[in-house]
Amino acid sequence: MLTRRKFLTVSSSAAALGVAHPYISRANDRPLITHGVQSGDVGPDGGVIWARTDRPARMQIEIATTESFRDVRQGVFVDALPQSDFTAKALLDDLPPGQDIFYRVRFQDHSQPHILSEPAVGRFRTAPADRRNVSFVWGGDVCGQGWGIDEARGGLRCFGTMHRNRPDFFVHSGDTIYSDAPLQSEVKLADGSVWKNVLAEAKSKPAETLDEYRGNYKYNLTDRNVLAMNAEIPVFAQWDDHEVTNNWWPGEPLTRAEHRRRNYTEKNMLVMAARGAKAFHEYMPIRSTLAEVNRIYRKLAYGPLLDVIMLDTRSYRGPNAENMEEGYGPTAYFFAPAQVAWLKQALKSSKAEWKVIACDMPLSLPRTYDGDRRWGQESMSQGDGGSPRGREHELADILSFIKREKIQNTIWITADVHYAAAHYYDPNKAAFQDFEPFWEFVAGPLNAGTGRAFPPDATFGPQVVFEKSAPRDNRINHGPSYGMQFFGRVAIDGSTGVLTVALKDIDDNVLWSKALDPVKG
């Protein structure tokens, strides 16, 4: 029997579901489910269900283990209110592992409780308790550089391609929206054709109000590919910078040249970050924690073969313009000490064969702050190839800890730079050598301008084994129509534990792949 133990908004009774009631439905009066349904943060015992309606209403969820819903075993509810922009999410837990779960969502109008919305149906599979095959896809960077939804070209096609891979879940590696990138109605392409963006009010200017941030999520949730994938594939979401604004750090004054170009009326980044974080947590099916309601870093256990460790490189960093110091202190924070300590404990306590560390930014690709090296690096890397400085001290500490504690079978997955790459970190070719070799894989964009590759910093010895990026010899803004949109796929064989990484393009072509044997013991 499926049972209910807890969910995000708790009620003492859910008996109203699964029982016949004299509800009526008048099509013109019904609440609407405005942006589909989605699930997220799925583990062996359950996951989060999300939906949004158009008015104050009660989200009711029925759960079954068959698509016919003949075996409805459980019902929960949570209220959608104006304070959350009428979004609602519930944590369904105490479910059996390795089980297909079908869920049906309806909204009950607060002002007319006898009226229900049309139902919306979704599904997910709880993580296995045994060693069965597991796969997931990852990538980031959606609707950036002027590339929105062009319905005539298939919309956000990369989501449809990832969906056809039938993964167990999708790691959204940040830049889930581009809140600071307004859209024009048309973009002329190099071949003379025209990209035609679907427009929305929230995409007409850089976001700074809470409603404008919310509108960016709503925009992406109008795409048919995203809606179809969300209904069947759980998302594990993290953020990067464009959920607030480009290259932000907490407490930053909004005085940079690009801030002035965007005509922001706000003066302090803390206000913007608070609004961006609220919208992110409203629109992403992410598990909350009582310790820190808006915390993004977390460990998601996916059976005996896999733990996914999600990091946050934005919320706790020090000033981008002051991270070039030799030593380590608050101005050099990237993950910051509390998150570093948590990561170490998450790795040390993991019993999974593979530990996948999801970091929104690559480890060794230098990114200058505001396009000017004089103002420091926006990335972790300092760009000089020497001994660790500033933010690099955190990575050196983490990698040394992994070696010292003999933590085996770790890989890193990242996005941010808008191209696909595979980096092998070799201590024999590094300035800092106190670590064991490991792999980092980069994937994206999913629907944005393709980036140009640049050499990694040599401090930790990254070797570029593969990369696919925009040509260096021109300044064309290579959008989705050029075909250089990339995602990654990881598959773990249940019997052998072999982990295979494939870097793919928007048409599902495998550009490069690598099979990694697990280290035993």
Domain ranges for the chain, please list them.
33-125, 136-516
pLDDT recorded at residue 265? 94
Q: What is the DSSP letter of 124?
A: E
**Closest to 13 in 3D by CA, of 52, 58, 46, 56:** 58
Q: Find out whether 234 and 47 touch, Cβ atoms under 8 Å.
A: yes
Q: What's the gap between Cα 69 and its chain centre?
A: 30
- The Cα 385–Cα 309 span in angstroms is 27
CATH hierarchy code of domain 136-516 = 3.60.21.70
Amino acid at residue number 453: A
Measuring CA to CA, how many Å separate 268 from each of 202, 203, 253, 258, 275?
21, 22, 5, 14, 12
Beta bridge partners of 504: 487, 510
List the beta bridge partners of residue 39: 49
- Which pLDDT does position 387 carry in this prediction? 94
3-class DSSP assignment, residue 77 = strand
Beta carbons of 33 and 120 less than 8 angstroms apart: yes
Q: Is pLDDT of 393 > 90?
A: yes
DSSP state of 269: H
Token pair of 517 as six digits: 């044997």
Q: Which residue has the higher pLDDT, 121 or 13?
A: 121
Contacts of 39 (CB under 8 A, 6+ apart): 47, 48, 49, 50, 103, 122, 123, 124, 230, 234, 235, 285
pLDDT digits (tens, 9 = 90+) for 117-171: 999 999 999 999 999 999 999 999 999 999 999 999 999 999 999 999 999 999 9
Strand ordering across the sheet containing 100-109: 74-80, 57-64, 100-109, 120-125
Whether the link from the prior residue into 96 is cis, omega within 30° of 0, is no
CA 438 to chain centre: 22
Q: What is the pLDDT of residue 100?
A: 96
More confident residue, 329 or 135: 135
CA 463/CA 437 separation, integer angstroms: 11
pLDDT digits (tens, 9 = 90+) for 70-125: 888 767 899 999 999 999 999 999 999 999 999 999 999 999 999 999 999 999 99
Tokens 């200017």 correspond to what residue? 205
Mean predicted lDDT score pLDDT of the chain: 92
**How far apart are the C-alpha atoms of 152 and 155, rounded to whole Å?**
7
Q: How far apart are CA 413 and CA 138, in angstroms?
A: 8
Residue 5's pLDDT is 43
For the stretch 428-471, pLDDT in tens is: 999 999 999 999 999 999 999 999 998 999 999 999 999 999 99
- The Cα-based distances of 124 to 102, 138, 472 in angstroms read 7, 17, 42
Fold of 33-125: Immunoglobulin-like (2.60.40)
What average pLDDT score do residues 216-227 get? Answer: 98
The answer to whether 354 and 305 are in contact (CB under 8 A) is yes
Dist. CA 498–CA 493, nearest whole Å: 5
Q: Where are the beta strands (DSSP E) in 376-471?
A: 410-414, 420-425, 438-442, 462-468
> Residue range 505-515: average pLDDT?
98
Q: What percentage of residues in the chain have a pLDDT greater than 70? A: 92
Burial 446-478 (b: 16+ CB within 10 A, else e): bbbbbbebeebbbbbbbeeebbbbbeeeeeeeb
Q: What is the pLDDT of residues 417-429, one digit of tens each?
A: 999 999 999 999 9
Distance CA 126, CA 2 (A): 12
Q: How confident is the model at residue 375 (pLDDT cuts 50, 70, 90)?
A: low
Q: Which of 188, 180, 177, 182 is nearest to 200 (CA)?
A: 182
pLDDT in tens, 17-55: 333 344 555 566 899 999 999 999 999 999 999 999 999
The pLDDT value recorded for residue 369 is: 64
What is the pLDDT, as a whole number, of residue 497? 98
Phi then psi dihedrals of residue 25, to 5 deg: -135, 115
Query: Can you give the pLDDT at residue 320?
Result: 86
> What average pLDDT does range 341-355 have in this prediction?
98
The residue type found at 350 is S
Residue 291 confidence (pLDDT): 67
